[in-house]
Amino acid sequence: MGDTAIHSERRGRVEVIVIDHPPVNALAQPTRAALLAAVEAAESNSAVCAIVIHGAGRHFVAGADIREFDHEPRAPLLNDVLLRIEAVSKPVIAALHGSVLGGGFELALACHYRVAAPDVSFGLPEIRLGLLPGSGGTQRLPRLIGAAPALERMLSGDPIGIERARVLDIVDGESGARDLLEHACGLALEVAKVDLEGRRLCNRAVPGGAPEPAWVSRERAAAKRKFPGVASVDAIIECVEAACRDSFATALALSRRRFEECRASEASRALRHLFFAEREAKSDATPRNVRSVGVIGSGTMGAGIAVNLATAGLPVTLVDSDERALAAGMERVRGVFASSVEKRRLDAAAAAAAGERIRPARGMEALGAADLVIEAVFESLTVKQEVFAQLGALCAPGAVLATNTSTLDIDAIARPSGRADAVVGMHFFSPAHIMRLVEIVRGRDTNPDVIATAQSVARRMGKLGIVVGNCFGFVGNRMLYAYGRENQLLLLEGASPTQIDAALENFGMAMGPNAVGDLAGLDVGYRVRRERKDLPDDPRYYRVADLLVEAGRLGQKTGRGAYLYLEGARRRAPDPEVEAMITAEAGRLGIERRTVADEEICRRCLFALINEGARLLGEGIAALPGDIDAIWCNGYGFPRFRGGPMFYADSVGLGVVLDGVYRFAETLGREYWKPAPLLEELARGGGTFEAWRAGARREESGS
């Protein structure tokens, strides 16, 4: 087939069509066109009695080309290609291995038979992009396995392996990893003369009919909790119900209409933006080899990091100079593994094996052979500098030294080590064994291969590592201070913690800022502010948070914070005592309290967040708007269906954001409401952060 992504080879009377479009054989338009041509050529060739479709490399087909979803569809549509494959007069066998996802699964369903290798993984993850399977998946899968199991697959978006696929009768045969094609070709010859009418899923009725309405209601509610703001939840259910009720052609036409509606939705655009943002950053440097890791500090964060590393297969030395703290840390480790087994995140054997990889030690001399050391001690510059001075003297010459600081100056921490080029920030989020985000902070002297090593280890741990520059709070926490500042001022001005949190949670935030503060512990931010030398000369600045800490109200861990937590419960309740404290403090500061609208709460908090993000982009601390969006959606509970703060700014219009900043500057003062230069530049020129990103990428590539 020339230079296309499709190659054909003849094995006796079987035509093997190979999809070869690295890295995942995505079904882009040229691939679809070439596949259609190859299938039609094989069907018309009298020397061919059957067709096998296979994927080159590690995967069969891992889905469509998602970039195409931002443009008008180009013929041939995958839906039309699959209808043509299903109608072929000769048996078509899918030889499946690796990822069989999205459009790849739909392709497999359009084939008449499916043979799978042991490593196969089936899934319809479209809901994660605010979409539904648009090329017959909502119709063929229910006709193969039943409506309820099909809905489970589509509404979860989770893949399944060969064992579950076998139970569901998705596959007609299994092979070893090395003889997949041989097995598929053998089956092709066996069924060459079999009547295909019963093999075409378009001709079947849904076995068992429609699922019970009560079951559908429960599944709908669960999916909406998992994927808030995503309209494709309802669309998927509607299309599967149509499969049970209508003809294949009628229900397929409905699924195409719903797919196009979902594709055009703001939520899907946002989720597709995040899909690429979370995969954009790549390093050109070669990472150093990491065979063992040391973690300093056995508190909640250190223990969580150790668990995550050990689960990823790395031997870990967990160091704490305090014997009792170390014992408590190892007990924490055992508790995390036990909880992971109970919640089925790990099986018992895997948890036991990971636990064996963690070795406790009291002295830092135990880290002499470690390839990577991650410091997770108290958030104090002095303490961290002492640790790094010791590491510089003790560690092997090629070791990478990482600090888990959330706010402090990486260069100041690195200096005492005597090897600042080997020091990098790895800011994990709590709980470290669960939270996906790691901010990888480059210092002034950090070597590129040290950054690449941190990225490589983060990927191995299953984390999303975003590289950021060095400043107070880096990207996430520096923006958090702007967002939190407005929350704190609004409390003094008349909004209650309950009102503020409800307004932002209605916008889509996972938790409001006051609930988050209580969960994290208000004393954490209090200690950070005591370390800072650059706080505004403003008695209102984080005054409510400081007041709560000084009253012993540290949050959930003390049963009292911005809210009251009765009898150790996590469920928050308003506390009149807090309202009285805030009212009294506002009076002392001469602040006249007023009724604050929910719209003002959202605009002030979100526009402060966006403005600070624009400032970080202009300063080069954040390289790309998508980096900010990935950080805030994965670390701070920003709603994924809104795409992150910078995508959200583009969606409402940068002119609207800038006008809001100007208005707040007039009514609240310019101390906190000075527009970021990049925001002003883009808004005045009618631009967007996305267009700015594309321009920056073009400049980088020299095109």
> pLDDT band at 280, cuts 50/70/90?
confident
Please give the Cα distance from 351 to 305 (Å, whole number): 15
Residue type present at position 63: G
564 DSSP 8-state letter: B
Distance, CA of 314 to chain centre: 23
Please give the Cα distance from 472 to 481 (Å, whole number): 10
Could you give the 3-state DSSP secondary structure of residue 44?
helix
Residue type present at position 409: D
Q: Which of 126, 219, 375, 612 is catalytic?
A: 126
Please give the Cα distance from 678 to 695 (Å, whole number): 14
Per-residue pLDDT tens over the stretch 430-448 = 899 999 999 999 999 999 9
Please give the Cα distance from 366 to 295 (Å, whole number): 11
Per-residue pLDDT tens over the stretch 351-401 = 999 999 999 999 999 999 999 999 999 889 999 999 999 999 999 999 999
Close Cβ partners of 306 (under 8 Å, ≥ 6 residues apart): 295, 298, 316, 318, 333, 358
What pLDDT score does 191 carry? Answer: 95
Mean pLDDT of the chain: 95
Q: Cβ distance 370 to 396 under 8 Å?
A: yes
Integer angstrom CA distances of residue 375 from 105, 386, 388, 414? 44, 11, 8, 12
Q: Order of strands, edge to edge, in the sheet holding 6-11?
A: 6-11, 14-19, 50-55, 92-96, 113-116, 173-174
pLDDT at 239 over 70: yes
86 is catalytic: no
> pLDDT band at 193, cuts 50/70/90?
confident
What pLDDT score does 701 carry? Answer: 53
Helix axes 103-110, 137-145, angle to 10 degrees: 60
9 is catalytic: no
Choose among 588, 611, 580: nearest CA to 483. Answer: 611
Q: Cβ distance 125 to 159 under 8 Å?
A: yes
Q: Which of 277-291, 333-347, 494-508, 598-612 has the lowest mean pLDDT?
A: 277-291
Q: Which of 15, 106, 241, 690 is catalytic?
A: 106
> Residue 83 CB: number of other CB atoms within 10 A?
17
Residue type present at position 546: D
What pLDDT score does 172 carry? Answer: 96
The secondary structure element, H or E, covering residue 306 is helix 300-311
Angle at 202 between CA 207 and CA 90, to 5 degrees: 125
Q: Which of 10-24, 155-169, 567-581 has the lowest mean pLDDT?
A: 567-581
| Residue 166, both tokens | 């076998």
Per-residue pLDDT tens over the stretch 497-555 = 999 999 999 999 999 999 999 999 999 999 989 888 889 999 999 999 999 999 999 99
Per-residue pLDDT tens over the stretch 635-653 = 999 999 999 999 999 999 9
Could you give the 3-state DSSP secondary structure of residue 180?
helix
What number is the average pLDDT over the span 58-67?
A: 94
Please give the Cα distance from 413 to 330 (Å, whole number): 27
| Residue 698, both tokens | 């073009």
Q: What are phi and psi of 345, to 5 degrees?
A: -80, -30
Q: Cβ distance 54 to 27 under 8 Å?
A: no
Q: Which of 61-70, 297-306, 440-449, 689-698 has the lowest mean pLDDT?
A: 689-698
Q: Order of strands, edge to edge, in the sheet holding 400-403?
A: 358-361, 316-319, 293-296, 372-375, 400-403, 423-428, 437-442, 464-468
**Runs of H (alpha helix) within 508-624:** 513-520, 522-531, 543-550, 576-589, 598-619
Domains in the chain (CATH in brackets) are: 6-264 (3.90.226.10), 293-470 (3.40.50.720), 477-697 (1.10.1040.50)
What pLDDT score does 114 carry? Answer: 98
What number is the average pLDDT over the span 238-243?
A: 97
What number is the average pLDDT over the span 197-215?
A: 95
Per-residue pLDDT tens over the stretch 659-683 = 999 999 999 999 999 999 999 999 9
Per-residue pLDDT tens over the stretch 328-354 = 999 999 999 999 999 988 999 999 999
What pLDDT score does 568 carry? Answer: 64
> pLDDT band at 695, cuts 50/70/90?
confident
Please give the Cα distance from 450 to 457 (Å, whole number): 11
DSSP 123-159: E-GGGGGT---TTTHHHHHHHHH-HHHHHHHHHH---
> pLDDT band at 281, cuts 50/70/90?
low
> pLDDT band at 700, cuts 50/70/90?
low
What pLDDT score does 1 carry? Answer: 39
Question: In terms of residues, how long is the chain?
Answer: 703
pTM of the model: 0.93
